């Protein structure tokens, strides 16, 4: 049973107040490698404009980086999923962030699930 002990209930934290892609979650070097992955693999089917498309951005706004990462890892390249390394997917995602003008930071985006689960996706600051 809940007992009101007088402690104020903290205001719920919005995702914008939590670590997210506006805070520099990848490095410029990582995005350069991601551009290489794009040129070598993704560009067979994609244009960079696919990843600045409003419908794409809206679909993933405020999703976790983990979810988009696993979406790509589990399904891409179309027809040959499972052929990308965790590094390739992470670098490609860094390139997608860069294409959208998200700021790079001092540390690379990690390739392990725990690191990927640290951040929400914001394409721009809603405030």
Instruction: Rank residues 12 and 82 by Cβ distance to ligand HEC and give the closer one.
Output: 82
Instruction: Rank residues 20 and 51 by Cβ distance to ligand HEC and give the closer one.
Output: 51
Shortest reach from residue 39's CB to ligand HEC, in Å:
10
How many angstroms separate the CA atoms of 87 and 111, rounded?
A: 6
**Is residue 45 within the footprint of ligand HEC (CB under 6 A)?**
yes
Binding range to ligand HEC, per CB under 6 A, among 5-13, 23-31, 72-80, 114-122: 72-80
Long-range pairs of 11-18 with CB within 8 A, sequence gap ≥ 24: 15/62, 15/120, 15/122, 16/120, 16/122, 16/125, 16/126, 16/127, 18/120
Shortest reach from residue 1's CB to ligand HEC, in Å:
44
Q: Nearest to residue 48, comparing CAs of 19, 3, 56, 105?
A: 56
Instruction: Rank residues 79 and 101 by Cβ distance to ligand HEC and give the closer one.
Output: 79
Q: Are 27 and 91 in contact (CB under 8 A)?
A: no
**Is residue 32 within the footprint of ligand HEC (CB under 6 A)?**
no
How many angstroms separate the CA atoms of 34 and 3, rounded?
A: 53
Site map (CB under 6 A) of ligand HEC, residues 78-117, x = contact: xx----x-------x-------------------------
Shortest reach from residue 2's CB to ligand HEC, in Å:
41
How many angstroms separate the CA atoms of 73 and 102, rounded?
A: 21
Number of residues that bind ligand HEC (CB under 6 A): 16
**Is residue 75 within the footprint of ligand HEC (CB under 6 A)?**
yes
How many angstroms separate the CA atoms of 42 and 37, rounded?
A: 7
């Amino acid at each position: 049973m809940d007992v009101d002990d007088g402690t104020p209930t903290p205001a719920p934290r919005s995702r914008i107040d939590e670590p997210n892609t506006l805070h520099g979650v990848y490095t410029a070097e990582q995005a350069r490698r991601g551009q290489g992955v794009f040129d070598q693999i993704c560009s067979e089917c994609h244009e960079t404009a696919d990843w600045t498309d409003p419908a794409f951005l809206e679909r993933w706004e405020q999703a976790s980086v983990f979810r988009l990462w696993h979406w790509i890892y589990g399904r891409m390249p179309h027809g040959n999923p499972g052929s990308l390394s965790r590094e390739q997917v992470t670098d490609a995602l860094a390139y997608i962030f860069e294409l959208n003008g998200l700021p790079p930071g001092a540390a690379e985006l990690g390739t392990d699930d725990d690191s990927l689960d640290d951040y929400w996706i914001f394409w721009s600051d809603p405030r």
